[in-house]
Amino acid sequence: MTKDKLALEIIERLKKEYPDVGCTLDYDQAWKLLVSVRLAAQCTDARVNVVVQDLYEKYPDVNALAEADPADIEAIVRPCGLGRSKARDISACMKILRDEYGGGIPDNFKDLMKLPGVGRKSANLVMGDVFGEPAIVTDTHCIRLVNRMGLVDQIKDPKKVEMALWKIIPPEEGSDFCHRLVFLGRDICTARTKPHCEKCCLRDICPKEGV
C-alpha cells in the first residue's frame, strides 16, 4: 500500500473510532489558545487547563495580561514548568496583541509566527482550530505515531514531519487528523508503555515501525 493510500485508510478508520474531536486545550477566546499552547510545552494539556483557570481569574482579558508583571504571571504558571520563559513570552505576546491587533490575534500563519513563543506547531493549531484553515500540528503524539504507522520514514524533526505529511494528507483533513492522533496516542499507541496494538483500529494495516 502506498503512503497516500495508507494515509487515506488511516484517516477513515480514525474518523470512525474518534468521530468527535477537538483541541484538548480548553479555551473560549482565540488569545487564550495562544496562552495555553505556550504553557503546554513540556507540560500536559490537563495541567494547563487547570493552571489557566487561576491565570484568567486574575487577568481576564488581553489588556490585563499585557499589563501584568511577568513575575506575577510566572508565579501562577510555574506548575507548567519553564515558568520564567513562558511568562516572558506570554507577557510580550499579549502586549503585541493589545498594541497591534486590538486584543485580537493575527489571522495568517506568517504573522502568528512573529509572536513571541509561537512556533510552527502553535501557529498551525491556531490556523486550524480558530480559523478553520488547513493545518498539520506536529506535536509529540503526531511525530511518534506517523513514524510507527509508516507515513514518514523515521523523521523526528517537527518541520520535516509536517512537510512530509502535507504531501499525503488532504489539506481539509489535516487538523482533525492530528487531533485524532492525540486521542489514539493517549489511549492506544502510548509513549511510556508498550502500545496496546491488540485494541487498535489500525492493527491490520500499521507496520508498527519501531514498536
DSSP code of residue 204:
T
Does the active-site annotation cover 58? no
Residues 176 and 21 sit within 8 Å (Cβ to Cβ): yes
Q: Each residue of 42-79: b (16+ CB within 10 Å) or e?
A: ebebeebbebbeebbeebeebeebbebebeebbebbee
Does the active-site annotation cover 121? yes
Residues 43 and 24 sit within 8 Å (Cβ to Cβ): no
Q: Which of 32, 86, 89, 139 is catalytic?
A: 139
Q: Which of 32, 89, 121, 176 is catalytic?
A: 121
> What cell numbers appear for 59 in the block?
487577568
Task: List active site positions.
Answer: 121, 139
